[in-house]
Amino acid sequence: MAGTDNSKDMTIGGPAIILVKPQLGENIGMVARAMLNCGLSRLWLVDPRDGWPNDIAWKTASGADVVLDNVKVFQTVEEAIKDLTLVFATTARPRDIVKPIVTPEQAAIEAQAVPDEQVGFLFGRENWGLDNSATVLANKIINIPLNPAFSSLNLSQAVLLVAYAYLKQSQNTPAEYLSTRRDHDVANQESLLQFYERLEGAIEEHGFFSRVEEKRELMQHSIRSIFARNQLSNQEVNILHGILSALLKIRRPGSKKSQK
Amino acid sequence: MAGTDNSKDMTIGGPAIILVKPQLGENIGMVARAMLNCGLSRLWLVDPRDGWPNDIAWKTASGADVVLDNVKVFQTVEEAIKDLTLVFATTARPRDIVKPIVTPEQAAIEAQAVPDEQVGFLFGRENWGLDNSATVLANKIINIPLNPAFSSLNLSQAVLLVAYAYLKQSQNTPAEYLSTRRDHDVANQESLLQFYERLEGAIEEHGFFSRVEEKRELMQHSIRSIFARNQLSNQEVNILHGILSALLKIRRPGSKKSQK
């Protein structure tokens, strides 16, 4: 199940997503899609209401066929989880079971510490509920902290949040980075300084600084800072030069301080 | 829009979710549901294909009517965002726009620093794409780091991940805690020690330690550790006592070391 010929493919597999008594094929398909979005491909069904395979699932999976084609079906939760060592039950907080409750993010951290094939996430039927008989079998309960006044999630949405937390935990995506076009060669400081100096020279010539002479340095810093924040590409610096040239050409015929 | 009579209600409102040219009423309804799950209620539509209001949306919103009832409709993106100071465009990484790209989690951190009514998240039509003309207006791009080989998210799933990141950032949900039944009074150490001693005394009487005398302390620690991990309630300690009593009663009639 590891990535094959597609260079963009990531290794997929991961822990099992286990749907207990799912009712609608549409939802099974949407779960498959959400799983594959997050690089998970092991979908297990316990006693699906409409049997399996269910054609409707393939229609709503938007191409996540690799997940549906490899579904395993079990008759009972006990049978499904028998080879697992770490089982999470994703459910609303149960009233009469005392068990550790974790966020999806904490579950992801703990799941990463165990081999994928030993981890499973249980989800109840569409109204996002698991029977207590299934919940008690789990090591821990995942409770997704939502708006307490409106916390009922669609099944595929619940799977998405758990799977996404798992994906994030296994990634090292930086929180912020700059979009990189293939042709985005970031301009070096020399190019930028040349532009700043040309710009500042031009506005100086137009009397800009004479009105704020005592704040010249402050103003200069402010101007440079506007452009410096952007990690401009060489192409963009060229564009700025072009704009400046155009502006200077337009103004040159007229008198330099005529406006205002 | 703040919480009113329902004690479980949380303050809702938050940044605007702005759908640009959404096509299906079903998706608008599912977006409303995902928003309210995360405590967001300000949904704006730019040029919705089928006009507004759209009855279908209410059918798929599963009760998130407060969001749909307050939708604002705009003809252009420019008009929608004109009062905002921080705009995120949620889209796949654009090839020809150089702009800072952030994760949903980083966007949430930055959004929290600005008044809610000045923040907006732009989402494109169903195939999860925004026109470049809309993307360029944004301060930053949100890119959801997904399986690169299968990254196309359903519209409501994209909204959910961004809204959930925002919700988490505004919460202080501990990563792990213990389910608390109303009647879950955690047993104190005295109760536990009484139980340990009774248990150990009982198995000692049955010759348990004599077989591992040199490892008695180690074994005792292992046994205590099994129970100590669970933050047992008083009721559960009582149950354990009951189990022990039952076992002792069953064994008492027979010879103490008869089995094996």
Chain B residue with the nearest C-alpha to that of A177 = B101
Q: What is the pLDDT of residues A160-176, one digit of tens each?
A: 999 999 999 988 777 77
Query: CB distance B164–A167 less than 8 Å?
Result: no
pTM: 0.77
| pLDDT recorded at residue B12 | 65
Higher-confidence residue of A1 and A63: namely A63
| pLDDT recorded at residue A34 | 97
Residue A93: is its pLDDT beyond 80? Answer: no
Residue B38 makes CB contacts below 8 A (sequence gap 6+) with A146, A147, B160, B163, B164, B166, B167
| pLDDT recorded at residue A128 | 58
Residue A5: is its pLDDT beyond 70? Answer: no
What are the chain A neighbours of B42 within 8 Å (beta carbons)?
A: none
Chain B residue with the nearest C-alpha to that of A139 = B230
Residues of chain B with pLDDT under 70: 1-12, 93-96, 127-128, 178-184, 229-231, 249-260
Tell me the shortest Cα–Cα distance from B55 to chain A, in angstroms: 20
| pLDDT recorded at residue A12 | 66
Residue A158: is its pLDDT beyond 60? Answer: yes
Q: What is the pLDDT of residues B45-56, one digit of tens each?
A: 999 999 999 999
Radius of gyration in angstroms for the set of CA atoms belonging to chain B, rounded to a whole number: 29
Beta pairing partners, B73: B45
> In B90-102, which positions are buried (b, 16+ CB within 10 angstroms) versus exposed (e)?
bbbebeebbbbbb
Note whether B62 contacts A: Cβ–Cβ < 8 A: yes
Q: How far apart are CA A64 and CA A51, in angstroms?
A: 19
Residue A127: is its pLDDT beyond 90? Answer: no
| Average of per-residue pLDDT across A15-40 | 96
Q: What is the pLDDT of residues B77-125, one digit of tens each?
A: 999 998 888 899 998 766 667 778 899 999 999 999 888 989 999 999 8
| Residue for token pair 């005295």 | B190
Residue A66: is its pLDDT beyond 50? Answer: yes
ipTM of the predicted assembly exceeds 0.90:
no
Note whether B9 contacts A: Cβ–Cβ < 8 A: yes
What are the chain B neighbours of A232 within 8 Å (beta carbons)?
A: 98
CA distances to A32, A34, B103, B108, B223 from A155, rounded to whole Å, are: 11, 10, 24, 24, 40
